[in-house]
Amino acid sequence: MDEKSKSIIEQIEDALQQMEHIASSTQLKVPHGIMSYARTYQKQLSFLNNRILKKNISYLLMLNDFLSWAVKRFSLVPRIKDMLMKNIITNFGFAIEGINKSLAKNIIGKKDIGFDASSSILCEKGIISKIMKKEIRWIYDIRSRQHYDTLTQVEFEHYTYRDCKKAQRIFNYYIQQIQEKLED
């Protein structure tokens, strides 16, 4: 290789190292307005007496705002995109589980109560409808797939953005039903 070629290769290598340094030291900023404020979610959850649960769920919902934005905005490897979409749905499942158990505990005074039992109590008391009980069970079933040691199939191409939007709609209606019954 002649000197001119070596010099060009060295310049390219130097430029690549500089670009790598710039890329690794630069943080991307999430645009303002992508996530709702925690206080907005906490206000929607005003029916919860447990302040810690209310705050933690609001942070989880903020994370979902970000994950939804990332799934739509970035070109992702399909497996990663699948897992992000599953995580969005799973987060709704965690939120619903916490709300269910907290409300059911307030009704019957029992601490350790499972998802199905708490859903049944809320349904029997007219806080959520039978249809809603079935809908939130769909979300909870996906949330239960967090236990990887119990999965019987590979989780790839199971989740769509449509599923995420469905989970979001169910969650919103779930909150709306609870608000209508408890905040009268």
Where exactly are the structural domains of the chain? 32-182
- Looking up tokens 């191409």, which residue turns up? 157
Q: What is the pLDDT of residue 137?
A: 97
Q: What is the pLDDT of residue 150?
A: 78
CATH number of 32-182: 1.20.120.580
Note the residue count of the chain. Answer: 184
Q: Residues 57, 98: contact at Cβ < 8 Å? A: yes
d(CA 95, CA 178): 14
User: pTM (2 decimals)?
Assistant: 0.84
- Looking up tokens 């649960």, which residue turns up? 53
Q: What is the pLDDT of residue 23?
A: 67
Question: How confident is the model over 6-16, as a mean pLDDT?
Answer: 79
Q: What is the pLDDT of residue 184?
A: 64
Take residue 78 and report the two structure tokens written for it.
């399909």
d(CA 145, CA 138): 11
